[in-house]
Amino acid sequence: MQPDFWHDRWHSNRIGFHRDTPLPLLTQYWDPLRLARGSRVFVPLCGKSLDMVWLAEQGHRVLGIELSALAIAQFFDERGLTPSTHASPAGTHHVAGPWELIQGDAFAIPASLLADCAGVYDRAALIALPPAMRDTYAATTWRRLPAGCRGLLVTLEFSEAEKDGPPFPVGEPEVHARLDRDWLVERLERRDILYGEPSFQAEGVTALHTVVYRLDRKPRERLQQQDFPLRSK
């Protein structure tokens, strides 16, 4: 999927993925992560999610990245804030209050910008991407997060034969295949949500589950010292 797809969705206000309240799975499972107040939380493909408001209310600083300038403008407008802006190789930064939202490419965000992120929260990024782009996302954005970072990943599970994405279904085997190299992955809950999703029902989806995972970034691999043979004197 190209950037124009998402720009068109925002400009035509076809943003059914946007929720009017924080996600219950976030509010239920965030506290056990035990992130300190004042710590920074990364939210990829953030849109104008109210989950970022909830995270800030818990005392966190939020770093988001989003393709759509309109989504970012709406987020700050709806808070009554006028952000300061500056440019970096990652894109255009919009900063106000506890939020720093970058208009840019999540795949290209440098590790240096993520280095102080103690937490990560992905509700709508992985499932927004087709398989090839999920490969890139895991190998770039996720791999650049620092050792010790921890957070939540939320996915959807349904039959690909019943609905075209986005959102795309991402099963537990795929989550492990993409993230186990760098992360400890623990499934916390798998919840049937079809009854509350009339748009999925209207498209013919007969089973729909949301799954939340806890993720803990493994220590980065240390360089192995090469063993040299002893020289005889």
- For the chain, the structural domain boundaries read 21-30+40-217
Q: What is the pTM of this model?
A: 0.89
- The whole-angstrom separation of Cα 131 and Cα 152 is 20
Give the sign of the dihedral formed by CA 219, CA 221, CA 225, CA 227.
positive
Is the pLDDT at 6 greater than 90, yes or no?
Answer: no
pLDDT of 15 reads 52
The CA distances from residue 132 to 79, 100, 126, 139, in Å, are 36, 28, 11, 11
- The whole-angstrom separation of Cα 119 and Cα 14 is 29
pLDDT of 233 reads 31
- pLDDT averaged over every residue in the chain: 89
Determine if residue 10 is labeled as part of a ligand binding site: yes
Fold designation for 21-30+40-217: Rossmann fold (3.40.50)
Tokens for 54? 């909830």
Q: Are 167 and 197 in contact (CB under 8 A)?
A: no
Q: Are 121 and 41 in contact (CB under 8 A)?
A: yes
Determine if residue 57 is labeled as part of a ligand binding site: no
Determine if residue 221 is labeled as part of a ligand binding site: no
Bridge pairing between strands 99-103 and 61-66: parallel
Distant-in-sequence, close-in-space partners of 63: CB < 8 Å, separation ≥ 6: 40, 41, 42, 43, 100, 101, 102, 113, 114, 117
| Eight-state DSSP code of residue 140 | I
pLDDT tens digits along 37-78:
999 999 999 999 999 999 999 999 999 999 999 999 999 999
The share of the chain scoring above pLDDT 70, in percent, equals 86
Q: Is 4 exposed, middle or buried (0-12, 13-18, 19+ CB in 10 A)?
A: exposed
Is the pLDDT at 231 greater than 50, yes or no?
Answer: no
Q: Are 68 and 47 in contact (CB under 8 A)?
A: yes
- The whole-angstrom separation of Cα 226 and Cα 214 is 36
Question: Which stretch of 12-21, 109-118, 121-130, 205-214 has the lowest confidence by average pLDDT?
Answer: 12-21
Q: Are 101 and 88 in contact (CB under 8 A)?
A: no
Tell me which residue has tokens 């840019």.
Answer: 104
Determine if residue 222 is labeled as part of a ligand binding site: no
